[in-house]
Structure 1
Amino acid sequence: MIPWVEDIARKNDSSGHALYMMKDGKTVLEHYGGYHSFEPAAQEVKATSRFNIASARKSYIALVIAYALYDRLLELDRPVHDYLEESNPVFSGVSIRHLLTHTHGVGEGDSGLYTEFTPGENWSYNNVGLDTLAHLVMEMYGETIRSFLQKRVFNQLNWTETGWENEDSHKLVKIISNRDEKALNGLHSDCDGTKKNLFVSAREFAWWGQLHLDKGRVGNRQIIPEEVVNLATTIQTPSGLSYDLPRNGAFWYVQDVPRMKSEIGDAVPAGSYQILGVTGPTILVIPKYQIVAVKMYNKRYNYGGADYLRYLKEYGNRVADACT
């Protein structure tokens, strides 16, 4: 796996990368390479280096949404209109389930939200579902995504390398847009947990995956109710969706059978689930083999081009093949 991860870093011009794999709850592979940016004095990538995980943050927000479902604050098949004080007409026919699984059919353009397709009849990846649900659950719990997770998860496990950041630090890996351009810091003034400023080390990213694999249990402590984890990591996609389209839990991609437009490799067994971000960070959880595999990069559009799904599937296939 290490040569493959390093080869992808070279192909995509990522300045830094990491690979962290766990088997049966134990670390079996830990590798770091490159630098926080291409700047001359950039830090080397180390175990304490924290990558901006971009859209992989959806898995963190998803857990709070799963809690809201568990606490009966939300119901999967109730219309979004039931929960919004001022509901946009484009949400007509859209349920909580649709928002969670990219099947809501609401697009977002320069002039605002618009109807892209009938809810439940197609699949389209965007942030409308995430943004709508994130703000909804914050209102319901009366606290931010960040504070909710900090109290219920991060503090319970003494995690110090996971968090939304608004100030730079020597431990934060920069985001590469192009080698010849100044690296981006990925910071945001708002740290409520909704923005793309979540930075995580490779090891705590893997522990996040392991927490899900272990159904919210750490040792003899049930940190998260098992049903909350199940809601997040089992298929919630409405039935009847085209065969080729991905299936999702709460934003996690979930494998049942190989699907042409899924990001999960065909060799990855059923019941596995994965989340990734545009800069390349990925968690793949394979319950059948008790494996959590994490890779980290810092290059935007890390798998750019029309053939990007091939690289995403190849990662999962290589992990799965290594287990058989």
Structure 2
Amino acid sequence: MQHDLVVNEWYSGRHDHTASSRMVDAHSQFNVGSVRKTYLAMAISLLIEEGKIRSIDDEVGLYLNELYATASGITIRHCLTHTHGLDIQEGQYSRAFRPGEDWAYNNAGITILIELVARLTGQSLASYIIDNVIQPLGFTETGWRTRYNELLIYNHYHEDDNWVGPNDSSAGDQSNLFISARELAAWGNLHLHKGKINGEQVYPKSVFDRMTSLQTPKTLHPALPRQGFIWWLQSHSPLNQIGDQVPHDSFQVLGITGCACLVIPEYKAVAVRMYNQLHNPQGYDYLEDIRQFGNEVHSALQASAEPRPLP
């Protein structure tokens, strides 16, 4: 999408490996993996707007008393930027490093934030997002799915090692958010325009300023990733997942299935790719692949912006 218009759209393949499966099209809904976490980020930012969260520099134990000792020194900011230093195994937390001193991508902080939303709202994350985001935006191809239907690309949930399962909870606490390519692009476009839709300010601009501006603790080494509220921000970190040619103000989210949403404000553009990837082929370089995606998008936008010579 660019300037609120779909300027390129392309689909290929089938929903699974069988020749009789449904062809992928505009209504196919993909399991987006960790892309789901940006909806959690939205919930946290809305709760700040509502005054239910005072500051992201509050320790999580102030809101979740049972974690007061376990998560001592760990703030909401640490959880949003993967700098909390916690690990979680079978529901038990352990410390890997002191908060704000390192970066590690895992779901310990995400689990805490999901519980925080439930505690402050009296609703599950999914219920809160449905009421405050999905329904107001008129999304019909976005949701946490627990039952198969023909529009869903279901990532082989019958396999024991499926990476993205299980999918039996409708609470928003599992990796079972399914989205169509168009609605994920609309989600990115909402962030691009900081809550405006067709020129109307649907959500406060401050909600999106928080999510897409630098929130990584200043104590973190400059070689480590920079993030807003979960969104990756363009940086020169060796672990950065945005192509080096993509403009400095860009931000991106991606999931283990290969899905990604890249927002490039300089070009007023959003690019989405949707995959059903579960197992990487031999020799596949994940970082190289996702960076190349961003660089290809940038090259196309740059070429389209250049004045063409007169005939």
Query: Common fold, TM-score beyond 0.5?
Result: yes
Match of 1:318 in 2: 296
Per-residue CA distance 1:113-136 (angstroms, 9 max, x = gap): 111111101100001111101111
CA RMSD of aligned residues (A): 2.4
Task: Indicate how the Cα distance of structure 1 residues 140 and 181 shifts in structure 2: closer, same or farther if over 3 A, else same.
Answer: closer
Match of 1:77 among 54, 57, 65: 57
Residue 115 (str. 1) matches residue 101 (str. 2): no
Task: Indicate how the Cα distance of structure 1 residues 95 and 121 shifts in structure 2: closer, same or farther if over 3 A, else same.
Answer: same
Cα drift, residue 279 of structure 1: 0.3
Cα drift, residue 147 of structure 1: 2.2
Cα drift, residue 203 of structure 1: 0.4
**Secondary structure of 2:73's match?**
coil
**Secondary structure of 2:128's match?**
helix
Match of 2:210 in 1: 231
**Secondary structure of 1:224's match?**
coil
Alignment of 1:289-308 (within 5 A): 289-301=267-279, 307-308=285-286
AA at the equivalent of 2:141: E
AA at the equivalent of 2:262: L
Residue 280 (str. 1) matches residue 278 (str. 2): no
Structure 1: gaps spanning 5 or more residues: 1-21
**Secondary structure of 2:295's match?**
helix
Q: Percent identity?
A: 39
Say whether the 8 Å CA contact 1:165–1:187 is kept in structure 2. Answer: no
AA at the equivalent of 2:195: G
Task: Indicate how the Cα distance of structure 1 residues 43 and 186 shifts in structure 2: closer, same or farther if over 3 A, else same.
Answer: farther
Say whether the 8 Å CA contact 1:259–1:266 is kept in structure 2. Answer: no
Q: Point out the structure with the larger strand share.
A: 1
Say whether the 8 Å CA contact 2:166–2:174 is kept in structure 1. Answer: no
Say whether the 8 Å CA contact 2:45–2:210 is kept in structure 1. Answer: yes
Match of 1:23 in 2: 2
Residue 213 (str. 1) matches residue 197 (str. 2): no
Q: How many residues align?
A: 301
Q: Take 2:78 and 2:138, find their aligned partners in 1: how far apart are those partners?
A: 34
In the TM superposition, structure 1's runs of 4+ consecutive aligned residues that sit over 6 Å from their partners are 180-185, 303-306
Q: Take 2:26 and 2:166, find their aligned partners in 1: how far apart are those partners?
A: 21
Residue 132 (str. 1) matches residue 112 (str. 2): yes
Residue 261 (str. 1) matches residue 242 (str. 2): no
**Secondary structure of 1:155's match?**
helix
**Secondary structure of 2:263's match?**
strand
AA at the equivalent of 2:205: E
Cα drift, residue 263 of structure 1: 0.7
Cα drift, residue 39 of structure 1: 2.3
Q: Take 2:92 and 2:174, find their aligned partners in 1: how far apart are those partners?
A: 19
Q: Take 1:243 and 1:143, find their aligned partners in 2: how far apart are those partners?
A: 38
Say whether the 8 Å CA contact 1:145–1:194 is kept in structure 2. Answer: yes
**Secondary structure of 1:199's match?**
strand
TM-score (norm 2): 0.90
Say whether the 8 Å CA contact 1:51–1:201 is kept in structure 2. Answer: yes
Cα drift, residue 240 of structure 1: 2.8
Residue 241 (str. 1) matches residue 199 (str. 2): no
The higher relative CO (CA closer than 8 Å, separation ≥ 6) is in 1
